[in-house]
Amino acid sequence: MEALDVNMVSISKENTKAHHTFKYEAVNVKNLKTMIVRRGQPFSVVVRFTRPYDENNDLVQLVFTLGDRATQDTQGDAFIKRDMVADKDSWSARLTNLQNNILFFEVSTPVTTPVGLWTLKMVTRRKDSEDRKIYYFKQNFYILFNPWNPDDSTYMEDTNLLQEYVLNDVGKIWCGSFKTARGNTWCYGQFDAVVLPACMFMLARAKIPFHQRGDPVKVARAISRIVNSNDDGGVLIGRWDGQYEDGTSPFEWTGSVDILDQYLKSRAPVSYGQCWVFAGVVTTVCRALGIPSRVVSNFVSAHDANSSLTIDKYYTETMEELKYDPSNPERADSVWNFHVWNDVWMARPDLPRGYGGWQAIDATPQEASAGMYQCGPAPLEAIKQGDIGMNFDVEFVLSSVNADYMRWRYSPESESGYSVVDTDSYQSMYGVDEEQNRQKVSAIRKAD
């Protein structure tokens, strides 16, 4: 007897309800060509063969592959078995029902599965033969982060918050000043048909190895750099000089979908963006991939260009302000009326206990981190406590919200050439030890 031939495959849309993916446009078309599921959670498949399935002698194997070259981390396989027990760290396929030549089974993916577009094939053979038949599924599978799963590193316990930070596709981004702040409606549109393909293109252009795409820390850090165009030919070109004639003004954008659609079609950066546009696109990408995300607006936002944890202004002996920083002539500190970035939610197994949860990332290209224009993820707990040694870029985000404003006057007698005139501390979050740490770091940076 020959190996089984596949006659029909059915993957029900009911899977999308259990996986909270029913809003994606790709699963709401007549001829379903794409299934979107979340890792670490079973989904149901029905297969009809051309002859009855012999449970004792027929072997049916599922093989999932991510990318062109299969490795241990980018390929998963499982034989369909009736007594299979799902394991959060393994691929499995459990037979749930058998009706002559029709198999009903559930597929479970590891909770650490790299996110992306996976292909699936079914390999059949008899136990007493090496002859195989291969059926390639017509549907591709997007496997996403699963913040509903307690074992997932993006897990968020409060499902009401997940309705907002993953499933809500419209929000407000606050801009202006702290006295005249206004909330502008932004359409994130993470369920639009163009968004997930754009996300896959972005991850590829950011050169994230497939095996690292299951780590939300690495993915979020890459998103913070690929949404700007400074390093990898990312999504948006930042511009602040008011010259937007050869593109679209940052003030004209009202959502992310048109930006990502243009980027995907042209394979080139889109003109132009500023902080709230970068943050809006980041929210779209993170929510589409399953990372809980929110937009953060900071009014009277400091920009510390030399990691001193202070905003420094320099003056002549007669107190005329210099237009540059003598210790950093090309990158002077400044204070903006507002700045917008993102928080993303995830565990931080790379850090000591207590630093998981919300993490700040910023896609606006301001200062290089590890040689690239990326920022974060920086644990909010580390920012609050002033723990500047924690990855990534805690001191930069800390300066944005809590830097001291210092004025320096030229002083030939001073070792550094300038002496402090006064210091304005807008707000202090520090205890004694943290304040000493900040002063120590500031002194070291000045000496350098």
Domain-embedded: residue 149: no
- pLDDT per residue over 276-324, tens digit each? 999 999 999 999 999 999 999 999 898 888 878 888 899 999 999 998 8
Domain-embedded: residue 27: yes
* 275 in catalytic set: yes
- Based on the structure, what is the number of domains in the chain? 2
Domain-embedded: residue 20: yes
Domain-embedded: residue 69: yes
* 187 in catalytic set: no
Last residue of a domain, one of 91, 114, 144: 144
* 211 in catalytic set: no
Domain-embedded: residue 253: yes
Same domain (yes/no): 127, 187? no
What residues make up the domain containing 356?
159-447
425 compared with 241, residue with greater pLDDT: 241
Provide the pLDDT for residue 443: 41
Domain-embedded: residue 153: no
Helix (H) or strand (E) holding 277: helix 275-289
For residue 265, what is the domain's CATH number?
3.90.260.10
Domain-embedded: residue 270: yes
Residue tagged active-site, from 152, 333, 339, 404: 339
Last residue of a domain, one of 112, 144, 176: 144
How many residues appear in the chain? 448
Residue tagged active-site, from 169, 362, 387, 393: 362
> Cα(first)–Cα(last) distance of the chain, in Å?
78
Mean pLDDT taken over the chain: 92
208 compared with 448, residue with greater pLDDT: 208
Cβ partners under 8 Å of residue 441, min gap 6: 307, 308, 309, 388, 395
For residue 100, what is the domain's CATH number?
2.60.40.10
Q: Which two tokens stand for residue 276?
A: 């709230």
Last residue of a domain, one of 144, 174, 197: 144
Residue tagged active-site, from 275, 286, 304, 375: 275
- pLDDT per residue over 416-444, tens digit each? 899 999 888 654 333 334 444 444 444 43
Same domain (yes/no): 272, 353? yes
Domain-embedded: residue 48: yes
Taking the mean position of all CA atoms in its chain, how far away is CA 377? 9
Provide the pLDDT for residue 437: 45
Provide the pLDDT for residue 426: 56
